[in-house]
Chain A
Amino acid sequence: DTAVSQTPKYLVTQMGNDKSIKCEQNLGHDTMYWYKQDSKKFLKIMFSYNNKELIINETVPNRFSPKSPDKAHLNLHINSLELGDSAVYFCASSLDKRSYNEQFFGPGTRLTVL
């Protein structure tokens, strides 16, 4: 059983398109995250939800909109895709929002914008 799953694994699309990435966790965790792995392989937090409530919203363009329909799911919708959005996006979850809980990562979604 996959603890944190993401779909799709790969996404190739044209500039200007709108796309979504989905994430699901079956660990019963309260908190979920989206990270972006940039070109320097650096993992940067984008958003965090705790029990469907947004608790972290880093400096991310408002073309990125997370949605959490329930605490087991956190989706990421990106409007008007740009070349610079090409990256690997990782979803993660933790027991609750306190930072001493380890985070469990999904397999990543490699987004390529042409």
Chain B
Amino acid sequence: ILNVEQSPQSLHVQEGDSTNFTCSFPSSNFYALHWYRWETAKSPEALFVMTLNGDEKKKGRISATLNTKEGYSYLYIKGSQPEDSATYLCAFGTASKLTFGTGTRLQVTL
């Protein structure tokens, strides 16, 4: 059983705050690390896929880093907005399978 853990489980921030979450995963058999954004009543949408140790990806105010040697990835949101409210899932990829974490639920209030 692969353990993919995310912390915190939930987070409540004010508009304009910057925040970050953690995904930890096994450091062996690594192929890829995915981040997905999952809004309530919708389906998960891919944010980033990272494959190399030290990878950094950015999309607007959201960025992610990857450390495959120690088995963790960080997702950062700069200047949170109410529309960033969602559950953020990471997924650890072996050769052909993704194992998802339980997600970090982010609530951004005015």
Residues of A at the B interface (CB closer than 8 Å) are 4, 40-45, 48, 55-56, 90, 97-108
Task: Add 16 more A-B contacts to A41-B102, A90-B44 (CB < 8 A).
Answer: A4-B43, A40-B102, A41-B87, A43-B44, A43-B89, A44-B100, A45-B99, A48-B96, A99-B31, A99-B32, A99-B95, A100-B31, A100-B32, A102-B34, A104-B46, A105-B43
Could you tell me if A99 and B98 are in contact, using CB atoms closer than 8 angstroms?
Answer: yes
Query: What's the tally of chain B residues with a CB closer than 8 Å to chain A?
Result: 22
* B93 proximity list for chain A (CB < 8 A): 99-100
* A45 proximity list for chain B (CB < 8 A): 97-99
Could you tell me if A100 and B43 are in contact, using CB atoms closer than 8 angstroms?
Answer: no
Q: Is B59 an interface residue (CB 8 A)?
A: no
Interface string of B17-42 (1 = CB under 8 A from A): 00000000000000110100000001
Q: Is B49 an interface residue (CB 8 A)?
A: yes
Say whether, besides A43-B44, A90-B43, A103 and B102 are in contact (CB < 8 Å).
no
